[in-house]
Chains A and B, each alone.
Chain A
């Protein structure tokens, strides 16, 4: 099986230099994809919102060294300091793609309703054309009302906007002259070129474990990016997702299901995820990658032995 990596884009890992070097190291180590997070703005507190990922991946959180370059919090939002660098995912993906040749580059997850679908369609099509079809769009509907207020998007409509945007993106990526009539977006005979290199457009994978997110996968998307899905629940939840996909008249076999795991995951757990229907993994690292060249290279060499190779043999 394949495993990707989440390690760049935040704090000391948000520099162009780190992103470039770590993407190259990940590609050399055999990681299949490299994932970038998204928060357009951050706030010191989120009184109007509830952080939905406080439970993490469903695994026990790995211990974090107090000297790790990036410290995660443990309460409402995983970042301790709002004045931390948080790279834009679309620009970061372009930077990563320019530094590599085979690895897939994805967002996990880009908060879709905070962007404009026509601008985003053009941006991702440009990127996918530049990198010969290595782009993945992981999307979420967002959870932080404060972010939506700052960007000027109605938080209460984020689910509907997300669903409509997914259809807009696919129209612009597939149609020669694109037309769309929706509740939020309307256009007629618009030409949007370049098209993505990948036939059918950039794959859209959905983050989140809510029923709404799973419906979105089943009805509209190319895969799922589950995070908080404990291994003992995986089989039943994935079979439910497959059932929903069949019910939507689509083939569940073609879904990519890419589970976020920590590096403390045992091979036995990964096998159980595989048997439950997970098709690939995404290693979320722990803020402890050394920034300097030699240390970073050593870390990726270690992962090549301890993770990438054993998972490839699964």
Chain B
């Protein structure tokens, strides 16, 4: 049994883009699911459980990414991962100017 294969498109809204901290959160969460997680941008598809792979996407604000999740826990994985992509991280608040 392979379970379902689900897809969802997500547009990156974070002004800093899909940067390293959300990538780490994404990859660590993806690794907790049995399902395979693929993230693609304009035909380039990478393993969502690897930060190094996610770095290849260089997804700035406004980029559309497609998540493809396949396996027994696909629905839960997809929901949780979409949430991570849409949640800004702590460091995205503007930093005070440096004197």
A, B bound: no
A residues contacting B by CB (< 8 A) are none
Task: Mark B residues whose CB is within 8 Å of A.
Answer: none
